[in-house]
Amino acid sequence: MNILVFNCGSSSLKYRLIAFPAETEIAAGEAQRVGPATAESSRIYHRVGGGEQEVHYADMPNHGAAFREVMQLLKAAGLEPDALGHRTVHGGTRFTQPTRMDPEAVHELETLNNLAPLHNPPTLNLMHSCSMQYPDLPQVAVFDTAFHSTIPEEAYTYAIPEKLRERHGLRKYGFHGTSHRFVVEEAARILNKPLNTLNAVSCHLGSGGASLCAVRNGRSIDNTMGFSPLQGLIMSTRCGDIDPALTLSLLISEKDGEAAVEQVLNTRSGVLGLSGTSGDIRDILTAEDPDESVRNTADAYIWRIRKYLGAYLTVVGQLDAVIFTDTVGEQVPDVREKVCQGFSCFGLKLDAEKNRAASALPCDIAAPESRMHILVIQTNEELAIARETYQLLQQEQWNDCPGKESDYAKLNT
């Protein structure tokens, strides 16, 4: 079975075609500058198997047009998907598992657009286009929020009046769940430990967004992000945790209105706002002759991660592993070293030499005397989405054919 995975951005469409059960990538690419015409032409960077990347130019005024172009490129290479898997940012409390997107499910998802106004609508538009062009092709949504549906009430509840919470769906949802789930499952495999016994803290440190996830017995019990991806760590351009009164003060003092304040907090804050020069922490850490603001930016970035790591070490209990993943977590040893300093009282100790040499992933960079593993694992959200899509469809097949063992059943025995 070939699963075509889509990650839909506001003006882009990333895709990967993965063959199951072998989990082999057979094509991948990205459509860029999707939408209204820009100074540069819309294009698709496309690669089949281990071949060279090719660039195809095409008019793509919307994601439906981009989907059509991608399908034509695949068809030209003799490739066809058997199902589609969609990365979907927000499922609210309704969607806590991978879901077959029939018309009823699509309609229900549309009612959640207010929870993710920037991310969910493009994905829904793509789903509609897929249904129109290929009505018989199964579509499955995999939700970033789903892994965090196990967060307990005491952790997801905000201390505001119940009527407001219920009326507007105001609670912690958590994000990056697909990535956190993937690396936690990989950690269980690496450590040869049943997933339902694994205790870990997953550190998804991306060049854009970032979050930590506390995992007890293989299940998320907290995530640094909250009602939106704005809460938690200092990120590239997002502020992370701030006093809510600060937002109120900005709304009163700034004359440009709510949208301008939201833009400040989401796109002009974080590492960029602190440093005034770059939103990439790698630039900050490698800056020559850094000034005080650059040094303070690096310190604040690390401080926030360490604060949450310490909190999660406490609430999870005896840990099996701390996991670093995504661009910064995988590629920047300085960040891993600084984050892990000072936690020997918890039994967490990093081996500096192993950390510097960590290039072939996954790897364990814990010192011999560390009481827990420190794993660096490359995340693979597209593979995770493809797996969940495949398993759901196999389970449906199994339910329809009693007495016949499915590939899904074989995978889970």
Residues known to be catalytic: 144
Q: Which residues of 313-349 are buried (b: 16+ CB within 10 A; e: fewer)?
A: beebeebbbbbbbbbbbbbbbbbbbbbbeebeebebb
**Is the distance from CB of 126 to CB of 8 less than 8 angstroms?**
yes
Two tokens at 148?
A: 């965090």
**Is the distance from CB of 323 to CB of 375 less than 8 angstroms?**
yes
Classified as helix, coil or strand, 83 is strand
- Sheet with 363-364: strands ordered across: 219-223, 210-216, 200-205, 321-325, 373-376, 363-364
What is the C-alpha separation between 103 and 12, in angstroms, rounded? 24
The closest of 215, 237, 212 to 226, measured between CA atoms, is 212
**Is the distance from CB of 304 to CB of 239 less than 8 angstroms?**
no
Q: What count of other Cβ atoms lies within 10 Å of the Cβ of residue 248?
A: 11
DSSP lists the bridge partners of residue 54 as 46
What sign does the CA torsion over 358, 363, 337, 305 have?
Answer: positive
**Is the distance from CB of 241 to CB of 231 less than 8 angstroms?**
yes
Two tokens at 170?
A: 């105001």
Contacts 24+ apart (CB under 8 A), 47-56: 48/77, 48/79, 49/25, 53/29
